[in-house]
Chain A
Amino acid sequence: MREYREKAAWSQGELARRLGVSRQTINAVETDKYDPSLPLALRMAGLFGLEVRELFVDHWTPEIEG
């Protein structure tokens, strides 16, 4: 997310204000210390004009049975 925020030339404080959360939350998400809720992830992605899966990487893959 840091990459997209920096592309938009927003500080963490600016992004926090736009999303209605604390700067601590933005910092924790960017440093992988906190996974945002689905509503916040949707808002974050929407703000950058992206899909959630473009903004957040999940390395989980489903196990295939049989």
Chain B
Amino acid sequence: MSSTTEETGSTRKKLVTRLLIGGVVGYAFAAGAVELVGAGLLDAMGPSRVALATVGLVYALMAIFVGFGVAAPRAGAALLNVGDAEELREERGTMLRSVVTMGGMGLGLVLLALARGADFAAGPIPASVAMVAVLALILGCLVASWRWDADELNRQLALEGCFWAFGLSWAGLTLWASADFLGFGPALTPVDVVATLSAMMLVGAFIAIGRRGMMVR
């Protein structure tokens, strides 16, 4: 067997292992969240709020994974897209910033999804608290972006990720809004826009990384 074939096999094994672990932990996380919120509240939330909360939970889950990698580099190296445990130690600062950014994003989206409103009187989070959380999230992201000291590969990946995120958001939201406007599809609510943009930021990042063949190292 050639070394290239061995590398491909090992890369595939790594990817499958990570997907399996991610799937199991994600399922447990989602089941825990449903248990915590309760099926009744989940029904009252409606599909738009549930979708928003799901996107928020995905961000939170990713923050937990990266946080775990920083706390336990050896085990984290098997789970995260890094060369080895040493790289996790070297990139500790960057990883911690990712934990804060993604964790903040996840928390902000979940608080928004659970906020009390005219359509969701049972919402456990006062609307004013959710509004402050969203403002803090946007301000935090602006400051983090301004101070972001990434090297050229990460800047390039961010640009490519934003390109895909914008393109997919534009296509998805335009189609959905047009269908709603013309009476062909379900109503597009304001939180659907937030959920779509937030989800597409993640999808765009994965596409940019995947297209460069950097999904698994």
Residue of A nearest to B91 (CB): A22
A interface residue count range (under 10 / 10 to 19 / 20 to 34 / 35 or more) = 10 to 19
Inter-chain contact count A-B, CB under 8 Å? 44
Complex Cα–Cα for A39 and B48 (A)? 47
Is there a chain A Cβ closer than 8 Å to B39's Cβ?
no
* Chain A residues whose C-beta falls within 8 Å of the C-beta of B82 in the assembled complex: 24
Chain B's nearest CB lies how many Å from the CB of A34?
Answer: 5
- Beta-carbon contact of B83 and A22 below 8 Å: no
B180 at the interface (CB under 8 A from A): no
Q: Which residues of B contact A16 (CB under 8 A)?
A: 90
Q: How far is the CA of A25 from the CA of B82 in the complex (A)?
A: 11
Within 8 A of A (CB), among B132-172: 151-154, 156
Which of A13, A20, A28 sits near B87, CB closer than 8 Å?
A13
The smallest beta-carbon distance between B198 and chain A, in angstroms, is: 25
A-B contact pairs, 29 of them (CB 8 A): A12-B83, A13-B86, A13-B87, A13-B90, A16-B90, A21-B151, A21-B152, A21-B153, A22-B94, A22-B151, A23-B83, A23-B87, A23-B90, A24-B87, A24-B91, A24-B154, A24-B214, A25-B151, A25-B152, A25-B153, A25-B154, A27-B83, A27-B217, A28-B153, A31-B213, A33-B212, A33-B214, A37-B152, A40-B152
Q: A23-B91, A24-B91, A28-B214 are in contact. List 14 more A-B contacts (CB 8 A).
A: A12-B83, A13-B87, A13-B90, A21-B151, A22-B151, A23-B90, A24-B82, A24-B153, A24-B154, A24-B214, A25-B152, A33-B213, A34-B153, A40-B152
* Residues of A bordering B, CB below 8 Å: 12-13, 16, 20-25, 27-28, 31, 33-34, 36-37, 40
